[in-house]
Chains A and B, each alone.
Chain A
Amino acid sequence: MFLRDHFLLSCCFSPGEVICEPPNNKLDKFTGTLHWRDNKYSLDNEKMLLRGCVLRNTEWCFGMVIFAGLQTKLMQNCGRTKFKRTSIDKLMNTLVLWIFAFLICMGVVLAIGNTIWETCVGRKFELFLPWDEFQSSAVFSGFLTFWSYIIILNTVVPISLYVSVEVLRLSHSFFINWDQKMYHNQSDTPAEARTTTLNEELGQVEFIFSDKTGTLTQNIMAFSKCSINGQTYGDVYDEFNQKVEITEKTECVDFSFNPLCDKAFKFYDCSLVEAVKQQESAAQDFFRLLALCHTVMPEEKSEGNLVYQAQSPDEGALVTAARNFGFIFRARTPETITLCERGRAATYDLLAILDFNNVRKRMSVIVRNPQGQIKLYCKGADTIIFDRLDPSSEDLMYATSEHLSEFAGEGLRTLALAYKDLSKEYYQVWQKKLHYVSTVIENREEQLAALYEEIEQGMKLLGATAIEDKLQEGVQETIACLNLADIKIWVLTGDKLETAMSIGYSCNMLRDDMDEVFVISGLTQLEVQQQLRNAKENILGLRRLSSTADVQKGDVFAEDSVFEETIISEYALVINGHSLAHALEPQLEHTLLDLACLCKTVICCRVTPMQKAQVVELVRRHKMAVTLAVGDGANDVSMIKTAHIGVGISGQEGMQAVLASDYSFAQFRYLQRLLLVHGRWSYFRMCNFLAYFFYKNFAFTLVHFWYGFFCGFSAQTVYDQWFITLFNIVYTSLPVLAMGLFDQDVNDQNSLRYPSLYKPGQQNLLFNKRQFFLCTLQGMVTSFLLFFIPYGAFSVMLKDDGSDFSDQQAFAVTIATTLVIVVSVQIGLDTHYWTAVNHLFMWGSLIVYFAILFAMQSDGLFGIFPSNFPFIGTARNCLSEKSVWLVILLTTVVCILPGLVVSFLRIDLFPTLTDKIRHLQQSRKKQRPQEQNLRRVRRTSSRRSAYAFSHQQGYGELITSGKNMRVSTLSSSRSLERIAQSSSWIENILKRKNEVSAEPAESHKADRLK
């Protein structure tokens, strides 16, 4: 944080003392005093430069660092880093606890069973198997049995699940990193999953909180169209007179005739160049106006290398346009403007700048051209200009007005241009008045405004410009697509209300066909409350009038959420930071939230970083929804940290947002792919994985439970020890892992084409407590069948050679083999996407199972460790028996078929969207998938003037005073004068400075951390 000091302290830095407030996060307040050389200077917010500001139009400033690092207001606004976990994770923990409870229940049941058994049966069997010495009673035996069963049945608690889940998430993150479609060529930036634990949450996002500048927009203004003298330029037509869509490939106008042109400037309509070349006076005046009427500072570092320092990107765009069309603004002094008009230098005397402010919504310059004529050039919001036109321009006004509507319809920011010829006498009179008024102390501002108004009358219309606030590529499509996926997008920006709204319009988030756009801009809590209530009543009121005539007002708001879903009409809410501060108070936050959720679009402007986080927190806390915050600047860090998922756009704004984020990439449009493809897949895979994992563990483990009823609850295991050890790790881990890695129900193109596929994730449908219950139930039933079918068969089964076959080892091998086959078939049915890896893992697992089975039961191993491999020969004798295979076949069929029937019936009778699209995908497989072709939407929209949006109060005064110009460019006489005036201009500059720096300061862009 800098204290910018304009008292040219130069070389005399003697010790001083600053007393100020402790570090805090209030951006609009600072109090402190500076004691220096026995003087006291008050320090307030106007004298502060906040971290993140960029100095403009000056090479240096003196300052003093007051807070640094974590104490800066920026960092104070960052919020705390939280440990982020997915909802699946939390659910999983709950479920594991449930399973643990279930395990204990089983243990208790079996322990009680053991106690009873020991009392009734075991006593008689003591002859053959005396109790251990320490075993004093049946109850004690039951107690021991409890612990034995806890140990045996512990495989039902899926410990390996946690490891597998992490492996899956890590791989999903790699898939995000590897995705070429999220790689940005121009900046060589691939997408990056910086957190590997949140992937499946990407499939459940309901709210997106987006920053504006740098995220939705590129923060680049482009001169895209204009209307000159009733003629529009900017569109490209082909030979059939059809309008051509402008794309990257469209050939742009060659400005090589102009040595001073800006190479980056692109314009596609050649007819405008022709018009300018053909000496059309309107076209020339048009660009002359653009080159003269502005407050841009030029910097010519070397010959022909012009750089414009514009207060707002709009102005820069206009001046650059004039420059390329041959009206090059080269230099300015406080009294002159030098142009290079189509190769010839021309110097205009700058007589006055009638500066911009929010009320006037226009700016004018009065110049004397080289021919000695005095002219007033004015640019401003169309409505304002049209009111002040000469009657002779009326026809032109109607034509231009039509064009303006057209431009606005395309989401462009428009500006009307007009000029007026002034007679010398008239100007001199006016100038005297101006001189008088500028010395008046009372009501100077108003009097000045009136004076400006007086001269800006009876102007002649020149035309209109249309500037495109360049959105990032594909923003409209992305927003439309995410909206279709039922994701609500809230824009939180530090920008002005008008700018935010204009971007809202150009992103299609705000539309003229919306029923109403509520703008909340109250200054006091009461006002805000009233506005919120009114808006809400407005939405809910109509219906309620018809349904319930007189409901108590208190009840009205209590029931609101019930109606939420049924709102069909579209509303939008725009709220500014000041009102937001009130609305976020505990007593109002519910009203705000309810209202915001009733609206299709929510835009919060002029918000501080902390407020961004508060809004996110509000939704996060009360809506139980997954939130995602996306931003690119340091001012977004707090919201990125607060949201469930933070996404950083790595752009020109430095790395801070990216460093705090969980996912980062270069373009807003990749969000679509991140959520709809990667998020959806991750969620889908993770859910199927979990469901199968629980199923498998239950099917595997509960067999012991059933066996307990036949072995006197003695904690005898059904399977071989080795099988128990290897089942989860070797025999069944890989196929399910392959499914978790590669499974795709619907391919990526269709995921994007049908955004509705995303909805099941938001509704938490694929894995929840109900699904868990179902899959464990399936596991239990499977284990039941797995035990009782072989049981029924084994009690009577004989080998062909007559030897009996009901021994425990053969039983164990049969059940184990059946289990492996059943769970493999089940994973086969659950797999939607059989890649080679799936095949390999699947068949490989089965082969490995049999290989290990025979190896473990081989003669050789038994010969070495007889006590460890007692199953010698069982597999050979058992699996060579056809009746065993008949049992395995029967059990497999009985275990699998019911599930198959249910899923077939479900797909056939109640297909979900996913099923339908899978079906479609299948039937279209042979056809080449067509690329999605979302056309740029045209809409009708009220026109908006660029000038009103991006501009702060102008600094025309600064220019005419010449104080911002370097000494070398000034004559020595003026510099003397300047010193004399110094005390007054310092104040002025101080005042202006804050406005100049206000924009970057509030939106805290570029951080200079280097």
Chain B
Amino acid sequence: MGKTKDKSGPLARRPDNSAFKQQRLPAWSPVLTANTVLPFFYLLAVISMLLGVWLLLLVQSTQEIKLDYTDLGNCNECFDLRRNVSNAAQTCSCRVEFSIDKTFKGDVFFYYGLKNFHQNLRRYMDSRDDGQTVGWIKKLKNPSTYCEPFAKDEDGVPIAPCGAVANSMFNDSFTLTYHSSSGRRVPVPLLRKGLTWYTDKNVKFRNPRTDNLTLAQVFEGTRQPLYWQRPVYSLDPHDPNNNGFINEDLIVWMREAAFPNFKKLYGILNRADANFEKGLPRGNYSIDISYNFPVQHFLPIAYLVTSSLILLMAVVLTVAWWKFGKDGKNMKE
């Protein structure tokens, strides 16, 4: 219907004989039969099994050591000190010693982790200004109201970077030292760059245009977040290119974790150093933590369990089909 036709004559109102209008469109109408379903199940079971085994091997080739330093060594002193926010300005250091039994071969990643820290609260996650961290000058001095109450300090000076996320940035620093068998203390070189996604480092986070000014000058008129010890433009004293909004620690922190227990990348073993060419050798280590603030087998096991369940279902289906439906007697009218 719809359009009026110019047809006239005895069959003027006859509907068109098109496959669409007569609901005769050519179509594929699949039916679940044993011939299709059972092989599919077995195939799926095998695929899952293979994936599971492969993942398991992959996981077992990785090694992990996890240290909860809250109470280790002399860190509990710092922990007590930091309970009171007013002591934020004081420095506190502690040392944790540990040993690894087998050499960590290949790439070694160094993470910090937090437990029960809710980066995923709605108000927390909203409390940031992507406009500011992408380097818009206007936003730098005039952060979004989403950042409240961390947009401006009591004096009305805008905070950069603003918001609760940045404010609560994890700023413990770690120095890993290798105690070689000869008793020599070798500092373990950690790469503090290359920790972020390319898009984050190059698109999402940009420093404001400097135009021959130093970074410090650009950030003039703003102040550091209240809980920070250093302003944003001097977060990394060693690498001037790692300062401002593109500081990798900041970027890593700003990518909010989905769950309250999370870990974030701190550094990557620099294998350019001759001692650590093959990874992290076995032996004793100590971490010096400037105290400012947990690998698992889920996926392979999940795959293996799923695979066995599918196999089980496939067998049950086969039996059911064999016993009751094979000769199609149920299909008789």
Given A804-B252, A897-B310, 17 more contacts at CB 8 Å?
A125-B118, A129-B168, A180-B21, A712-B118, A714-B124, A807-B255, A807-B258, A837-B25, A866-B134, A872-B204, A876-B199, A886-B51, A890-B306, A900-B32, A901-B313, A901-B316, A922-B31
Question: For B167, what are the chain A residues with a Cβ–Cβ distance below 8 Å?
Answer: 128
Q: B residues 21-72 with Cβ under 8 Å of A?
A: 21-23, 25-34, 37, 41, 44, 48, 51, 55
Looking across the interface, which residue of chain A has its beta carbon closest to that of B112?
Answer: A804
Question: For B31, what are the chain A residues with a Cβ–Cβ distance below 8 Å?
Answer: 907, 918-919, 922
Contact for B255 among A714, A802, A809, A863, CB less than 8 A: A809
Q: A residues 120-142 with Cβ under 8 Å of B?
A: 121, 125, 127-130, 132
Indicate if the CB atoms of A806 and B17 lie closer than 8 Å: no
Indicate if the CB atoms of A835 and B26 lie closer than 8 Å: yes
Indicate if the CB atoms of B199 and A806 lie closer than 8 Å: no
- In the bound assembly, the distance between CA atoms of A189 and B116 in angstroms comes to 73
Question: For B11, what are the chain A residues with a Cβ–Cβ distance below 8 Å?
Answer: 185, 188
Question: For A907, what are the chain B residues with a Cβ–Cβ distance below 8 Å?
Answer: 31-32
Interface of A is mostly: helix
Contact for B197 among A811, A873, A890, CB less than 8 A: A873
Interface 9-residue window, one of B151-159, B276-284, B294-302: B294-302
- In the bound assembly, the distance between CA atoms of A747 and B200 in angstroms comes to 55
- Residues A836 and B25 in contact in the complex (CB < 8 Å), given A129-B121, A802-B109, A893-B310: yes
Shortest beta-carbon distance, A819 to chain B, in Å? 16
Interface 9-residue window, one of B90-98, B172-180, B233-241, B263-271: B263-271
- In the bound assembly, the distance between CA atoms of A710 and B330 in angstroms comes to 49
- In the bound assembly, the distance between CA atoms of A716 and B123 in angstroms comes to 8
Q: Does A843 contact B (CB under 8 A)?
A: no
Q: A121, A808, A812 — which one has the most chain B CB atoms within 10 A of its CB?
A: A808
Question: For A178, what are the chain B residues with a Cβ–Cβ distance below 8 Å?
Answer: 1, 15-16, 21-22
Indicate if the CB atoms of A886 and B204 lie closer than 8 Å: no
Q: Does B122 contact A (CB under 8 A)?
A: yes
Indicate if the CB atoms of B122 and A716 lie closer than 8 Å: yes
Contact for B259 among A794, A798, A833, A889, CB less than 8 A: A794
Q: Does A904 contact B (CB under 8 A)?
A: yes
- Residues A190 and B13 in contact in the complex (CB < 8 Å), given A793-B298, A890-B303: yes
Question: For B261, what are the chain A residues with a Cβ–Cβ distance below 8 Å?
Answer: 795
Q: Does A29 contact B (CB under 8 A)?
A: no
Q: Does A586 contact B (CB under 8 A)?
A: no
Looking across the interface, which residue of chain B has its beta carbon closest to that of A741?
Answer: B23
Q: Does A862 contact B (CB under 8 A)?
A: yes
Q: Does A670 contact B (CB under 8 A)?
A: no
Q: Does A443 contact B (CB under 8 A)?
A: no
Question: For B221, what are the chain A residues with a Cβ–Cβ distance below 8 Å?
Answer: none
Question: For B308, what are the chain A residues with a Cβ–Cβ distance below 8 Å?
Answer: none
Q: Does A259 contact B (CB under 8 A)?
A: no
Question: For B13, what are the chain A residues with a Cβ–Cβ distance below 8 Å?
Answer: 183, 188-190
Indicate if the CB atoms of A796 and B22 lie closer than 8 Å: no
Q: Does B171 contact A (CB under 8 A)?
A: no
Q: Does B77 contact A (CB under 8 A)?
A: no
Interface 9-residue window, one of A55-63, A569-577, A908-916: A908-916
Q: Does B81 contact A (CB under 8 A)?
A: no
Contact for A793 among B14, B33, B299, CB less than 8 A: B299
Q: Mark A783-801, 1 if CB is under 8 A from B, else 0.
A: 0000001011111111001
- In the bound assembly, the distance between CA atoms of A540 and B154 in angstroms comes to 92
Q: Does A216 contact B (CB under 8 A)?
A: no
Looking across the interface, which residue of chain A has its beta carbon closest to that of B113?
Answer: A804
Indicate if the CB atoms of A175 and B21 lie closer than 8 Å: yes
Q: Does B286 contact A (CB under 8 A)?
A: no
Q: A residues 900-944 with Cβ under 8 Å of B?
A: 900-901, 903-905, 907-911, 913, 915-916, 918-922
Question: For A894, what are the chain B residues with a Cβ–Cβ distance below 8 Å?
Answer: 306
Counting from the closest, the 7 A-B pairs by CB-CB distance are A873-B199, A178-B21, A908-B325, A128-B168, A802-B109, A796-B296, A716-B122
Taking residues whose C-beta sits less than 8 angstroms from the other chain, chain B's interface range is 35 or more
Indicate if the CB atoms of A806 and B164 lie closer than 8 Å: no
Question: For A806, what are the chain B residues with a Cβ–Cβ distance below 8 Å?
Answer: 257-259, 262-263
Q: Does B137 contact A (CB under 8 A)?
A: no
Q: Which B residues lie at the A interface, using CB under 8 A?
A: 1, 10-17, 21-23, 25-34, 37, 41, 44, 48, 51, 55, 85, 107, 109, 111, 116-125, 127, 129-131, 134, 136, 144, 146, 149, 164, 167-168, 194-200, 203-204, 252, 255-265, 268, 295-296, 298-299, 302-303, 306, 310, 313, 316-317, 320-321, 324-325, 328, 330-333
- List 21 contacting pairs A-B, 8 Å CB cutoff, sorted by A: A177-B15, A183-B14, A188-B10, A188-B11, A188-B14, A714-B123, A744-B23, A744-B29, A797-B299, A808-B256, A808-B258, A810-B258, A833-B28, A873-B198, A886-B55, A886-B303, A890-B303, A900-B32, A908-B321, A918-B31, A921-B29
Shortest beta-carbon distance, B193 to chain A, in Å? 12
Question: For A674, what are the chain B residues with a Cβ–Cβ distance below 8 Å?
Answer: none
Question: For A802, what are the chain B residues with a Cβ–Cβ distance below 8 Å?
Answer: 107, 109, 195, 265, 268
Indicate if the CB atoms of B124 and A128 lie closer than 8 Å: yes
Indicate if the CB atoms of B32 and A716 lie closer than 8 Å: no
Shortest beta-carbon distance, B124 to chain A, in Å? 5
Question: For A789, what are the chain B residues with a Cβ–Cβ distance below 8 Å?
Answer: 302
Contact for A742 among B10, B25, B194, B317, CB less than 8 A: B25
Indicate if the CB atoms of A180 and B14 lie closer than 8 Å: yes
Looking across the interface, which residue of chain B has its beta carbon closest to that of A889?
Answer: B51
Looking across the interface, which residue of chain A has its beta carbon closest to that of B333?
Answer: A916
Shortest beta-carbon distance, A261 to chain B, in Å? 25
Q: Does A543 contact B (CB under 8 A)?
A: no
Shortest beta-carbon distance, A117 to chain B, in Å? 9
- Residues A918 and B265 in contact in the complex (CB < 8 Å), given A180-B22, A862-B204, A893-B44: no
- In the bound assembly, the distance between CA atoms of A921 and B41 in angstroms comes to 25
Interface size on A, residues (CB 8 A): 94
Q: A residues 804-842 with Cβ under 8 Å of B?
A: 804, 806-812, 832-838
Q: A residues 727-768 with Cβ under 8 Å of B?
A: 742, 744, 748
- Residues A710 and B120 in contact in the complex (CB < 8 Å), given A744-B29, A804-B264, A833-B29: yes
Question: For B1, what are the chain A residues with a Cβ–Cβ distance below 8 Å?
Answer: 174, 177-178
Shortest beta-carbon distance, B292 to chain A, in Å? 14
Shortest beta-carbon distance, A462 to chain B, in Å? 43
Indicate if the CB atoms of A175 and B23 lie closer than 8 Å: yes
Q: A792, A794, A859, A890 — which one has the most chain B CB atoms within 10 A of its CB?
A: A890
Question: For B51, what are the chain A residues with a Cβ–Cβ distance below 8 Å?
Answer: 886, 889
Question: For B262, what are the chain A residues with a Cβ–Cβ distance below 8 Å?
Answer: 795, 804, 806
Q: Mark A183-208, 1 if CB is under 8 A from B, else 0.
A: 10100111000000000000000000
- Residues A890 and B310 in contact in the complex (CB < 8 Å), given A180-B22, A806-B263: no
Indicate if the CB atoms of A834 and B29 lie closer than 8 Å: yes
Indicate if the CB atoms of B203 and A794 lie closer than 8 Å: no
Shortest beta-carbon distance, B96 to chain A, in Å? 21
Looking across the interface, which residue of chain B has its beta carbon closest to that of A913?
Answer: B333
Question: For A160, what are the chain B residues with a Cβ–Cβ distance below 8 Å?
Answer: none
Question: For A392, what are the chain B residues with a Cβ–Cβ distance below 8 Å?
Answer: none
Q: Does A877 contact B (CB under 8 A)?
A: yes
Q: Does A242 contact B (CB under 8 A)?
A: no
Question: For A903, what are the chain B residues with a Cβ–Cβ distance below 8 Å?
Answer: 32
Question: For B28, what are the chain A residues with a Cβ–Cβ distance below 8 Å?
Answer: 833-834
- Residues A811 and B302 in contact in the complex (CB < 8 Å), given A834-B27, A835-B26: no
Shortest beta-carbon distance, B305 to chain A, in Å? 10
Shortest beta-carbon distance, A172 to chain B, in Å? 10
Question: For B263, what are the chain A residues with a Cβ–Cβ distance below 8 Å?
Answer: 804, 806
Looking across the interface, which residue of chain B has its beta carbon closest to that of A911?
Answer: B330
Q: Does A975 contact B (CB under 8 A)?
A: no
Question: For B10, what are the chain A residues with a Cβ–Cβ distance below 8 Å?
Answer: 185, 188
- In the bound assembly, the distance between CA atoms of A811 and B259 in angstroms comes to 10
Looking across the interface, which residue of chain B has its beta carbon closest to that of A838?
Answer: B27
Shortest beta-carbon distance, A487 to chain B, in Å? 21
Question: For B48, what are the chain A residues with a Cβ–Cβ distance below 8 Å?
Answer: 890, 893
- In the bound assembly, the distance between CA atoms of A810 and B123 in angstroms comes to 19
- Residues A873 and B200 in contact in the complex (CB < 8 Å), given A129-B123, A807-B257: yes
